[in-house]
Amino acid sequence: MKVRRGKSTDEYRDGSGEAAVLIDGRVLVLSPLATRLLALIGEGWTDVDGLAASLAAAVGPPTDGRSAEKATADLVRELAADGVVEVRDAEDRPNG
């Protein structure tokens, strides 16, 4: 799976590690983990497995028993549902 930033209008980060993004007139507050993930994603398509490795190196492995890849893919899907990111599956079809 690959991911890229969605079409946010504005983004604000505070000192706590959280961020707020403006998407289609809605303000979404992102957790520190989602904020860190978003910071790792550029304008182009980025491989989710690479993001998982970067997140695991920065914050440690998931504590709920999931692999870093599964936890990152789940977070990416949640962000895609809100329009924060766009995802593309392995067959190169845009999704979200």
pLDDT in tens, 21-67: 999 889 999 999 999 999 999 778 999 999 999 999 999 999 999 99
Please tell me the CATH code under which domain 2-91 is placed: 3.90.930
Q: From residue 60, how far is each of 56, 68, 71, 76, 88 by CA, in Å?
A: 4, 9, 12, 18, 26
pLDDT in tens, 2-26: 999 988 778 888 888 899 999 988 9
Could you state, in order of their start, the residue ranges of all structural domains in the chain?
2-91
Mark residue 42 as left, alpha or beta (left: phi above 0; alpha: psi -120 to 50; beta: remaining). Answer: beta
pLDDT number for residue 16: 82
Query: ∠ at Cα 75 (49, 28), nearest 5°?
Result: 135
Cα dihedral across residues 56, 58, 60, 63: positive or negative = negative
What's the average model confidence in pLDDT over 65-85? 95
